[in-house]
Structure 1
């Protein structure tokens, strides 16, 4: 017997499960393609994108059983929220009310009461207590929100092994309860332009362990496409990734509480593209507010190409981006060229036929076509 085999505990036995004995099961979707019961999801983005308000908007949909932004139906369910950053009284509950939530179906994780008094709940050590509390609900929750998810890691959240071990109890709890687990976190500062999964704060294990990673971005007011926030699927091990939906954060006053102002989400149109391309397109400024430099020759070439490409009239924005990519022009450089030329965006069609088109401003001529020809 080898030295390694000699160290095996003879009092334990490993079980091998034959695949033929396993009954295949479909993914139990809470929001098809976006939120799945029993799975870990990470929602990451810059601080200004309204991640918490966005998550509460999702919670409100679940409590009421109303349609998702893409029209998909859902049944009413309970939501459990732990927040280490926002107060339930002055921040979270007002936002839930503004979103139309049935607050009877929302439960906040409170203090842990012990013989010597009450203490703050710790998601790194008190998951067992949480499991006991959830067992007392009339039915299992449909959604469990942990904000921020890094608080579930007692050790170094930048170490892969420690992060995986720390998240395991929460993931197991979500599986046992059959609820979608959403952990909220930030992007690491100074990572604009990189792959979205690489931008998630902490260990890569956060993105690796999650079955779905959602990311948010914000287009500034002077962005060519206009201001908007984006919710995008950066990763999905159980469905398609890429694509997303636009949303905005608005301030509102609660009708039942005069003078109490809070924020709510207004859902917008669906968007297409990879997570990285959508984020690069939105983030025209670096994390420090300084425009990422593009070499003058690249920008000049992009301006010349774009001017010529749009000389015959408006074209769908996705077609322009696709053709620019074939010419070796990055999306970031293309958008800066667009800003420099003053290219405008117009929307045509309605519903599923709605699309954005780019058009040169009036009176602009192509550099490669004589002006006299364009005036005819």
Structure 2
């Protein structure tokens, strides 16, 4: 039985639009930062706590507001930046950091409370995107939107792919209508070190899958940090930049942190994160080993074999303990001919010395950790003892 004219008309209204590919005009990706930030696209910036994610994001924002240079030296097109943060206070954290980064504060819009008929309430990205879009009708030069944290845009279960995709779509649509890059900040899941960086983003895998570009941060030894490109569906992936965080005065007796960009890095994000996090782990472990050594040797000298035994029981690798001995101010000595090597704490004022004897794998100072010259006094004293006991070569003649 054929459909009536009314049924055909209703089907046309309720149907799906089909467009021939030949009717679609190709257009290039509109980059804010070539290869890193694109207009109309969702990006995710994720990392472990303490890596400076928000500070790095604000550094990128500051670059846009003043038309400055990106870490690779290319020039950013000037524009406005929209910042929403559910974690940091604008007055004592966000604006001071923007000032420290040299941002044109007149081009930064901070998302505040949502006005209602009853009373203002905190902005909720999961339900107030439409109201935000109406307010942005007055601006036509928004280039970047920062959502921190992006998980706040999900009102449902952030670990369910379907709910995450549905919740993030309004944010994606807003970026497309404003023709701005959307940068959502997130965290790494605990205990995820070593895994694929995309899988480490907190919540559903949909956060990393829906984003066209995923950027990640890590912290290495001595405070060095890095920004790496873990994924890009619209350009090359891999590579990164080293950076450090520094505190500077911004006036009025206040200080704020800012990013100082360093050298470009090569390699995949997984390789770069793995190297940085391993260095950080080793640094922390060695610091713990220093404290442990000081405590163990506080009662007095101890044979190296006993130190090694206690290190094994405490869970420290012997190589780590040997590296920590210098920082702990530990002296390595032998008690005499045939006597076992001992470790002891020495005062900061005294020079750490090692008695002259052949390198030994347990000695640390002259074995695995590198040779250390004996002091002239030690050598002279040893020579006198030998001559007193056996006589000189002239006596034998």
1:33 matches 2:19: no
1:118 matches 2:112: no
Following TM superposition, the consecutive aligned residue runs of length 4 or more in structure 1 with deviations greater than 4 angstroms are 336-342, 361-364
Aligned to 2:198: 197
Instruction: Sort the Cα spacing of 1:273 and 1:340 in 2 relative to 1 into closer, same or farther, 3 A.
Output: farther
Q: Secondary structure at the match of 2:194?
A: coil
TM-score scaled by length of structure 2: 0.69
Larger Rg: 2
> Any residues of structure 2 matched to 1:295-334 within 5 Å, and which?
none
Instruction: Sort the Cα spacing of 1:20 and 1:63 in 2 relative to 1 into closer, same or farther, 3 A.
Output: same
> Displacement of 1:12 after TM fit?
1.1
Find the aligned partners of 1:158 and 1:41 in 2 and give their Cα distance: 18
The runs of 5 or more residues in structure 1 that have no matched partner are: 222-226, 292-335, 343-360, 365-376
Q: Contact (CA 8 Å) 1:192, 1:286: kept in 2 or not?
A: no
1:268 matches 2:274: no
Find the aligned partners of 1:340 and 1:73 in 2 and give their Cα distance: 48
Aligned to 1:241: 237
Q: Contact (CA 8 Å) 1:134, 1:140: kept in 2 or not?
A: no
Find the aligned partners of 2:229 and 2:117 in 1 and give their Cα distance: 45
Find the aligned partners of 1:124 and 1:72 in 2 and give their Cα distance: 35
Instruction: Sort the Cα spacing of 1:184 and 1:142 in 2 relative to 1 into closer, same or farther, 3 A.
Output: same
Find the aligned partners of 1:209 and 1:283 in 2 and give their Cα distance: 26
> Displacement of 1:132 after TM fit?
0.6
Aligned to 2:178: 177
> Displacement of 1:140 after TM fit?
3.2
TM-score scaled by length of structure 1: 0.72
Aligned to 1:333: none
> Displacement of 1:286 after TM fit?
5.8
Find the aligned partners of 1:191 and 1:13 in 2 and give their Cα distance: 45
> Any residues of structure 2 matched to 1:328-343 within 5 Å, and which?
none
The runs of 5 or more residues in structure 2 that have no matched partner are: 2-6, 287-317, 325-368, 373-397
Instruction: Sort the Cα spacing of 1:115 and 1:240 in 2 relative to 1 into closer, same or farther, 3 A.
Output: same
Q: Secondary structure at the match of 1:193?
A: coil
Find the aligned partners of 1:209 and 1:187 in 2 and give their Cα distance: 17
Find the aligned partners of 2:179 and 2:371 in 1 and give their Cα distance: 60
For residues 57-95 of structure 1, what are the alpha-carbon distances to aligned partners after superposition, in whole Å with 9 as ceiling and x for unaligned? 000000000111101112210000000000000000000
Q: Contact (CA 8 Å) 1:190, 1:286: kept in 2 or not?
A: no
Aligned to 1:230: 226
Aligned to 2:249: 253
> Displacement of 1:34 after TM fit?
0.4
Residue 42 of structure 1, aligned match among 33, 41, 44: 44
> Any residues of structure 2 matched to 1:276-295 within 5 Å, and which?
276-284=270-278
For residues 112-134 of structure 1, what are the alpha-carbon distances to aligned partners after superposition, in whole Å with 9 as ceiling and x for unaligned? 11221211110000100110111
Larger relative contact order (CA 8 Å, sep ≥ 6): 1
For residues 231-288 of structure 1, what are the alpha-carbon distances to aligned partners after superposition, in whole Å with 9 as ceiling and x for unaligned? 000000000000000000001111x32x21110000000000011011110111569x
Query: Paired residues, what number?
Result: 288
Aligned to 1:307: none
1:87 matches 2:81: no
Q: Secondary structure at the match of 2:186?
A: strand
Instruction: Sort the Cα spacing of 1:340 and 1:67 in 2 relative to 1 into closer, same or farther, 3 A.
Output: farther
Aligned to 1:224: none
Find the aligned partners of 2:80 and 2:117 in 1 and give their Cα distance: 30
Q: Contact (CA 8 Å) 2:83, 2:108: kept in 1 or not?
A: yes
Instruction: Sort the Cα spacing of 1:340 and 1:20 in 2 relative to 1 into closer, same or farther, 3 A.
Output: farther
Q: Contact (CA 8 Å) 2:85, 2:149: kept in 1 or not?
A: yes
Find the aligned partners of 2:243 and 2:153 in 1 and give their Cα distance: 29
> Any residues of structure 2 matched to 1:102-181 within 5 Å, and which?
102-137=104-139, 139-181=140-182
Task: Name the structure with the higher helix share.
Answer: 2
Find the aligned partners of 2:63 and 2:141 in 1 and give their Cα distance: 17
Q: Secondary structure at the match of 2:138?
A: coil
RMSD over aligned Cα, in angstroms? 2.6
Instruction: Sort the Cα spacing of 1:87 and 1:196 in 2 relative to 1 into closer, same or farther, 3 A.
Output: same
Find the aligned partners of 2:175 and 2:117 in 1 and give their Cα distance: 28
Find the aligned partners of 1:16 and 1:282 in 2 and give their Cα distance: 49
